[in-house]
Structure formats: C-alpha cells, structure tokens
Chain A
Amino acid sequence: MPVITYRQALNETLRQEMHRDPNVMLMGEEIGVFEGSYKVTAGLLQEFGAKRVLDTPIAEEGFVGMAAGAAMIGLRPVVEIMTINFSLLAIDQMVNHAAKIHYMFGGQAKVPMVLRTPGGGGVQLAATHSQNFEVWYAYVPGLKVVAPSTPHDARGLLRSAIRDDDPVVFLENLALYNTKGDVPDEADDGDYTIPIGKATIARAGSDLTLIAYSRMAVLAMDIARRLEAEEGLSIEVIDLRSLRPLDRPTIIESVKKTGRAVVIEEGWLTYGIGAEIAATIQEHAFDYLDAPVKRVAGVEVPLPYAKVLERAALPNDKHLIKAIREALYGTRS
C-alpha cells in the first residue's frame, strides 16, 4: 500500500475528480497561480486551466454564493477558504442558501458544492486564526459535514463529498496536512469512497470507548496505543469522520460493549460535539454505562497568541489521560 500525505491525498483526489467529471471546478483565494495557502491545489491550474481553477478576489461571501449558484445548474464547485475562521464571512450563503435551496424550493434544484477549509489551532496564530466552527455547520439540517483524520479517509471522503448532491463542508486541519498514511493501491481499489455519515472503529478495544475526529482523532489513537503499551488498557477509538449525519449506531454499539466513554474535541465544551454525543449515549445506552461520559475540550476563551497561554487553552494528552482515568476508576485517579 502506498504511503502518502494528507495534502497529497487531497491534491490527487481533486485531480482525479476533475478528470472524471468536467463539472468539477475549483474556486478560492490564491488556489491557482500560488497553488493554495497550504499547496493543496498544486499543479491543478496548469493541468485544467483558469476556467476550472478560479483565483478569486478576497470576497468569501461572493465566491461561496457563486459556488451555490453554479451548483444549481449542475456544476460541482469545490471552494477553498483559507481557514474556517474566514468562512464566517460566507456563512449566510452556506446556511441561508446552500443548506436550504433544495428543501425550500420543493426539490427543484440541488446544490452539489463542497466547502473545503482547515480549522484548529496550536500554531500560535491566536483566536481569529485558530477556531473550530465545524459544529456550527453540523447544527444545520441540509448541510453535511465531514472531518477526516487520515490520508485514507481524506481521499475517500473528498470523493464522496464531490459526488454528493448536497452541500458538504469538508474540514481539514493545518497540523494534518503533512501527516502520512496508507492508501490502497490504485490497481486494487483506486476509486474507493467512504460513505458520508459513517464513523470508523479506528482501533478495537473493550475497556472504554474514546470518540474523536480530525486532529483529535490522531491524538486519541496515540494515547490509546500508549495506554495499552504502558498499562495494558484496551481502548476502542471511534473516529467519527462525519459530524452530520452523525453515525449514532456505531457510538451506541461501542458503548454498550465497553460501558465507558470519553469524547475529545479541540473546540469549546459548551454546546460542542461532546454534548451531542453524551446526550446520544445517555438516550440509547444509559443502562450500559458504568461511569458518567467524560468530555475533553478547549478552554472557553478566545485562543491566545502567547505560547504558554495557547498551550494551556488547548486540549492535550494530559487532559485526555486524566479523563480516561476518571472514566475508568472514578475520582480515585
């Protein structure tokens, strides 16, 4: 199996989808000549030309709305926004337009667009460059939200997102672009897709269920491996991959098996993904729980610039291990 980076997975998938379907086009700031702020669109302007790889002025609401417009007559625009923070300038187009057009006009027009954008912090760029707003999009019926953590899932989910007939928010992460992972050989399964709305059991286990997505899924896997090696713990890791639709059955089945659950997210605790998952577990697996569901999340402040403060505000391995111990042993940790 070839090993590629997350960035390569995205880049190759965009290229393949553009070859496969002439209706796939790209728009965004500096995605053409400059090949993207994070080089995800490298080589694509050269290969497909300016008609299909459009460098836009700094006008997020404008080009996200344009994508919705173009999608209504059958194009499949894939829009890049430099970071999820700036997608807020275009959120009206996503929430009041893209998400609703099919429903509110009685199914007359589909909006098969994708909004790709990296979220998250940890590189000292302060609050207005480091936020996690995928939850806001995941709140909205009519949108789909995916957040892969590996090159394998990034490829399979980007294919699904582009081929999907509804608007999809595709969450990336600055810290993931250079991470590496296996993908199937083109010859074996060159065109695999990952269904939107399906979580994966990234690691099977029996003592506790650890639920995460995007960069936090990488952290969750690391900690699960470490605690197995050091303490013999058997932790099942669920990588959600999709936030809407949310794969409730996979979560519920796992918790019924392990009896304990910890959720970790980089965003804020209050009203976060952890809240939705904890509610899901108590609704459907309450009788199986041996301990309260634990949530690990970012400290509820705008992420500060100073390194010491930033580090203190982000969820890390120590927070996660503490929560796992509390879920396993109560407060005796």
Chain B
Amino acid sequence: MSMQTDASLAPPPANDPALPRHRQLGLSDEQVLAALAGMQRVRNVDDRLWQLSRQGKAHFVITSAGHEAAQFGCAWAIRAGHDYSVPYYRDMALALALGQTSLDLLLHGMGKPTDPASGGRQMFGHFSSRALRIVSGSSSVGSHIVHAVGLALAFRITGEQDIAAITFFGEGATSEGAWHEGMTIAGVQQLPVVFVCENNGYAISVPAHREVPVRDVATKAAGYGMPGVIVDGTDIFAVYAAARTAMQRARSGEGPTLIECKLHRLRPHSNADDHSKYRPAAELTALAQHDPIDKLRDYAMQHGLLNVERWQAMQQQLKAEVDAATLAADQVPNPPLESLYDHLYGSAAEA
C-alpha cells in the first residue's frame, strides 16, 4: 500500500464541464480507483475489528463506516508527512488514506506492542504517526482541536512554509468549550488551520437537533471570523473540492475555514452500542442508500473506470489482504510486562 499522493500537486484542474467530475478536479482515473480500493480496504478492517471484538481479541472498536468519502476526500488535499492532521476516533479511514496500513490499524485495535499509534497503550481510535504527521489527542471530545490551532501557530515560529493543519470532529463536539476556544483563537489570529466537522447526525444516541442549536454547524463559522462551507460528505469529489480550497487558503495565509460534511454513521457508535435502540427502523433501512463506497463504485462504473469483473477481483484481493493482515497481527505477541513504564517520560533521566 503506497502513501496517498497529494492530489493538489496534480496538474491544474480542467474546468471543462464536459469532463467527468474527477477530471474537472484534476484527479486521474488511477487516483479514483486507489481511493475506492482504500475505502473498501478500511471497511474490511472495520468489519474485521467487530469480528475480533466478538472473539475477545480487539476490546474496543469504533467505526468509520459511512465517513470514508469525507476522510478520503480530505486526504487528497493533505500532503501526508508535510501538513499536520489532527483526527478524532472516527477517522480510521483518514489514517489509512494518509498512509497507515490495514496491519497498523489491526495492531492498534488488538493492543499489540508494534501498534504504531501507541504501542498498545491507547484504546482503538487514537491514530498517530510522527512520519505521517498524524497527531493523536486524548479521548475528551473536542479537546484535540486546540492542538491543531497550536500547530498552526507554531508554523509561524518554526518557519515552515506552505503548510497547514487540519483537524476533524463530530457535530456533538462543537458544543465543548475547547472547540469554541480553538475556533476563536484561530479566527482572531487567522491561522492556517482547517476544521472539518463530520456531521453524522448523532452524538452516540443523541440526534443533532438536541446537540446543536442551529441546523448547519457551518453557520457557526461566522462567529469566529472564518468561512463555513457545507458539503455532501458522502461525495468524495465535493469534499475534496472544499478541502482543497480550504487548505490552499490556509497555506497561502488567508486564514482558517470550517467545513461541514453531512453524512451518515452506518453502524453503531462503538461495539458497546446498539443503535437500533434509538434510531428508527426506517432510518436504519435507508442507511444502505448513503454508503459512500457504493456511490464511488457506481461513479467509477458509469465513467468506464471500472467494470463488474474488475470490481469483483478488487474485492477478492482486498479480502485476501485483510485476512493476511489479521493473521500477521494475531501472531504478534502481547506487550512484555517490562515495557509497562516505557515512554512515561520523554527525558532521558526518568523519575
């Protein structure tokens, strides 16, 4: 699996309305197919983690199903290893799109010492990679976005050029104090940071209208002196277009942007949740219509990038891949007890 290349380095978009949407955005056929494969790959890991949790091998699972187009669309606008990404627990697909592997994610879920996110220390969903510039936060909802603001502030002093930070959160998180404080400072300082709200309509069991006093989270941006943009978060091209514009604005010193991706959480909040208890049956049935993988697959077929045989072959190969990764992860021994104190302090002389 190669690192997702930044699509914003591609040739300038051809604004010819006769072209398919990806071509208008300057995306190649291969990039579209790679994203489709990546989205299916992460869905397979998602499936596998739920299975492993039932077998007692992965204790905690939190899904990204339904959020893949939003996360892959943003990843196209991020230069992994250059820009900084500050995700939240829902962003498994982002971690993979930025260059983490199925094996990395499975090791993380199974708490293995070679888990690149935390060495088996943090519960699943706290993605992290120094090389990919993925910055992990705590578990307190909304508290990580201020780190992205801090990174953006630091660029002024580190002198890094043409760089932005991008952070992700749910609509429920936009009620937290830290969210408002981070947005305020980013707006006052006009920092190079992009805020991406993955609005799936629920904060665990609570519907968005009882969490957020306005219909669109994007309208909150006005209070912080930055533009707010609404996109269909199941449409990878719409997300990419918005994220690319926002990242370019940030990198060129024009300040922060809030992007709201409207999408659907296809599965329960976590493996400790049962969403049939609070989501109407009709809504659950209709979820199948909002699967971003189906949407991109259909697009690829319509535009001749893919046919049924090739899609089936792709799926088979991806299935074999997740099986192999599961086997490999399962064979890694648990962390040794002597490692309990490792990393407690960063300084050489530990207390």
Q: Pick from B124, B172, B176, B340: contact of A312, CB below 8 A.
A: B340
A302 close to chain B: CB less than 8 A: yes
Taking CB atoms, residues of chain A closer than 8 Å to B2 are: none
Asked if A57 contacts B121 (CB within 8 A), the reply is no
Asked if A34 contacts B335 (CB within 8 A), the reply is no
B205 close to chain A: CB less than 8 A: yes
Taking CB atoms, residues of chain B closer than 8 Å to A129 are: 123, 139
Asked if A308 contacts B335 (CB within 8 A), the reply is yes
Asked if B278 contacts A34 (CB within 8 A), the reply is yes
Known: A128-B138, A309-B335. A299 touches B212 (CB 8 A): no
A126 close to chain B: CB less than 8 A: yes
The binding surface of chain B is classed by DSSP as loop
Chain A, residue nearest B121 (CB)? A304
Minimal beta-carbon separation of B332 from chain A (angstroms): 11
Asked if B340 contacts A313 (CB within 8 A), the reply is yes
Asked if A126 contacts B172 (CB within 8 A), the reply is no
Taking CB atoms, residues of chain A closer than 8 Å to B177 are: 59, 61-62, 89
A160 close to chain B: CB less than 8 A: no
Minimal beta-carbon separation of A16 from chain B (angstroms): 26
Minimal beta-carbon separation of B90 from chain A (angstroms): 14
Q: Pick from B111, B143, B204, B212: contact of A306, CB below 8 A.
A: B111
Asked if A306 contacts B173 (CB within 8 A), the reply is no
B299 close to chain A: CB less than 8 A: no
Asked if A126 contacts B140 (CB within 8 A), the reply is no
Pick from A126, A128, A299 the residue with the most CB of B within 10 Å: A126
Taking CB atoms, residues of chain B closer than 8 Å to A85 are: 139-140
Taking CB atoms, residues of chain A closer than 8 Å to B344 are: 300-302
Chain A, residue nearest B170 (CB)? A58
Within 8 A of A (CB), among B110-158: 111-113, 118, 120-124, 138-143
B337 close to chain A: CB less than 8 A: yes
Q: How far is the CA of A302 from the CA of B143 in the complex (A)?
A: 18
B54 close to chain A: CB less than 8 A: no
A124 close to chain B: CB less than 8 A: yes
A202 close to chain B: CB less than 8 A: no
Taking CB atoms, residues of chain B closer than 8 Å to A127 are: 121-122
Asked if A124 contacts B123 (CB within 8 A), the reply is yes
**Please, how many residues of chain B have a CB less than 8 angstroms from a CB on the other chain?**
39
A33 close to chain B: CB less than 8 A: yes
Asked if A312 contacts B337 (CB within 8 A), the reply is yes
A226 close to chain B: CB less than 8 A: no
Asked if A305 contacts B59 (CB within 8 A), the reply is yes
B206 close to chain A: CB less than 8 A: yes
Asked if A57 contacts B211 (CB within 8 A), the reply is yes
Q: How far is the CA of A304 from the CA of B112 in the complex (A)?
A: 11
Pick from A124, A129, A304, A307 the residue with the most CB of B within 10 Å: A304
Q: How far is the CA of A300 from the CA of B351 in the complex (A)?
A: 11
Taking CB atoms, residues of chain B closer than 8 Å to A313 are: 340
Asked if B139 contacts A307 (CB within 8 A), the reply is no
Minimal beta-carbon separation of A175 from chain B (angstroms): 15
Within 8 A of A (CB), among B166-215: 172-173, 175-178, 203-206, 210-212
Known: A57-B211, A62-B177, A128-B140. A301 touches B341 (CB 8 A): yes
Asked if A306 contacts B278 (CB within 8 A), the reply is no
B339 close to chain A: CB less than 8 A: yes
B15 close to chain A: CB less than 8 A: no
Q: How far is the CA of A86 from the CA of B121 in the complex (A)?
A: 19
B334 close to chain A: CB less than 8 A: yes
B311 close to chain A: CB less than 8 A: no
Q: Pick from A58, A88, A307: contact of B211, CB below 8 A.
A: A58
A265 close to chain B: CB less than 8 A: no
A30 close to chain B: CB less than 8 A: yes
Within 8 A of B (CB), among A305-321: 305-309, 312-313
Pick from A29, A58, A127, A129 the residue with the most CB of B within 10 Å: A58
Asked if A304 contacts B205 (CB within 8 A), the reply is no
Known: A57-B212, A89-B140. A305 touches B123 (CB 8 A): yes
Pick from A57, A89, A129 the residue with the most CB of B within 10 Å: A57
The 5 closest A-B pairs by CB, nearest first: A306-B111, A57-B175, A306-B120, A128-B139, A126-B123
A residues at B contact (CB < 8 Å): 29-30, 33-34, 55, 57-62, 85-86, 88-89, 124-129, 299-302, 304-309, 312-313
- Contacts A59-B177, A304-B340, A312-B337 known; 13 new A-B pairs at CB < 8 A: A33-B205, A34-B205, A60-B176, A86-B141, A124-B123, A300-B344, A302-B121, A304-B121, A305-B123, A306-B120, A306-B335, A309-B111, A309-B335
